[in-house]
């Protein structure tokens, strides 16, 4: 149970208004992706406001790496619960998501009405190239942590091959996780049987567009997506582009680009896509669908943090899932890169952006805005 009576340093304990105000402000200003969001949370929650100790904060951070969903959003949900109870759980996550969702919806309206105008088209011409660089930088950083040994490297390469040959996204993820479990001597093969059945999950079947179908597609993604938010590209492309044909590759890249331009969680890409497909009802259905699993999962597993963190079963499985997630990211980046890198100008933008990200660690939001400006100027 959260302790709302005392704070880490004996100061006045935060109340529901404190949680609401903090996460509204963070959701409005937090550019730079999940790692930057979590760093901002630690700076304020631990050091500035002293709502909890660093050890408590690390405990919460540990759990978000063991469950699917957007890490920074789930941290907001957990912090809200720890410092303000069940109302804090709801408001912490909602206030972190809401500013980005509103801004993304506004940009979707602009895109839908003016996206074909020369200036808007030029901006997205530059943004798409930068987004490819941002994703490549994320893959590089994550790989240095996720690929811990030769076994994981080999499984990751196998996952790349499987994904490139068209294997189902969920089969790649669960297959990699189960294989690592089976190869890990600490986990007997029979213990993997309970998870093996999960590998039989398949993506939603083809069908006509409807708000219920849209909600279910994004609910599935929010419920099973491990790893970085950029793995979202692979899931959405598999369902919305290849299976249901609701979007084109170019539209998907535009949606991700807008997600990069806005603060808060990258998963508000769903808001943009939902608005394109179903206006305001579609935006609401897609946003609710992709974020609802995070609230449900945190409410369910939050009290089980110590047991999950020490589990010898989940540790090797998630190592494999992370390797599979990186493989999916790499393959989908290659596929989308063919739609974004169309000439020497876009290639130069992508390479310069990648250099700036890797060498100087420039905030990706500034690069995306720079890409928009460069695209608008260079495409005249």
Per-residue model confidence (pLDDT) at position 208: 59
Q: Give the chain's residues under pLDDT 70.
A: 1-12, 31-33, 35-36, 62, 65-66, 115-121, 142, 185-209, 226-230, 304-311, 314-315, 363-365, 379-380
The single residue listed with the structure tokens 């603060």 is 263
224 Cβ contact list (under 8 Å, min separation 6): 68, 170, 173, 201
Q: Which of 195, 206, 215 is nearest to 242 (CA)?
A: 206
Cα distance between residue 287 and residue 275, in whole Å: 10
* CB-based contact 363:37 (threshold 8 Å): no
Per-residue model confidence (pLDDT) at position 41: 85
- H-state helical runs in 225-248: 232-236
| Whole-Å CA distances, 256 to 20, 129, 339 | 27, 12, 13
**In the chain, domain spans:** 121-378
Q: Which of 142, 301, 118 is nearest to 231 (CA)?
A: 142
pTM for the complete prediction?
A: 0.66
DSSP annotation of 198: G
At 259-298, the pLDDT tens digits run 777 888 889 999 999 999 999 999 999 999 999 999 999 9
Cα distance between residue 15 and residue 264, in whole Å: 22
Radius of gyration of the chain (CA): 20
Token couple for 113: 């009405």
């Amino acid at each position: 149970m959260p302790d709302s009576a005392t704070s880490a340093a004996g100061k006045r304990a935060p109340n529901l208004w404190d949680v609401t105000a903090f996460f509204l402000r963070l959701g409005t200003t937090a550019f730079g992706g999940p790692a930057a969001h979590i760093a901002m949370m630690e700076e304020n929650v631990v050091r500035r406001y002293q709502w909890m100790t660093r050890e408590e904060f690390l405990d919460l951070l540990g759990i978000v790496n063991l469950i699917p969903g957007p890490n920074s959003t789930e941290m907001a949900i957990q912090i809200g619960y720890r410092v303000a109870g069940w109302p804090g759980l709801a408001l912490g996550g909602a206030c972190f998501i809401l500013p980005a969702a509103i801004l993304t919806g506004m940009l979707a309206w602009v895109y839908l009405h003016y996206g074909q105008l020369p200036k808007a088209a030029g901006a997205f011409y530059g943004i798409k190239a930068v987004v490819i660089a941002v994703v490549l930088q994320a893959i590089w950083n994550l790989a240095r942590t996720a690929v811990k040994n030769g076994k994981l490297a080999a499984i990751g390469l196998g996952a790349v091959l499987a994904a490139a040959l068209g294997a189902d996204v969920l089969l790649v993820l669960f297959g990699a996780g189960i294989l690592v479990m089976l190869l890990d001597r600490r986990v007997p093969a029979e213990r993997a049987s309970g998870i093996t059945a999960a590998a039989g999950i398949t993506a939603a079947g083809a069908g006509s567009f409807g708000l219920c179908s849209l909600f279910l597609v994004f609910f599935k993604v929010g419920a099973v997506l491990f790893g970085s938010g950029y793995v979202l590209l692979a899931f959405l492309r598999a369902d919305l582009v290849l299976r249901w044909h609701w979007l084109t590759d170019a539209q998907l890249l535009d949606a991700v680009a807008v997600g990069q331009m806005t603060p808060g969680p990258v998963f508000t890409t769903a808001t943009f896509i939902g608005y394109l497909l179903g206006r305001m009802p579609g935006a609401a259905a897609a946003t609710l669908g992709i974020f609802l699993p995070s609230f449900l999962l945190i409410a369910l597993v939050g009290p089980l943090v110590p047991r999950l963190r020490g589990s010898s079963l989940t540790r090797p499985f998630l190592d494999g899932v992370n390797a599979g997630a990186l493989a999916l990211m790499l393959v989908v980046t290659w596929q989308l890169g063919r739609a974004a890198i169309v000439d020497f100008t876009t290639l130069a933008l992508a390479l310069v952006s990648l250099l700036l990200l890797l060498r100087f660690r420039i905030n990706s939001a500034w690069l995306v805005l720079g890409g928009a400006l460069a695209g608008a100027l260079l495409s005249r």
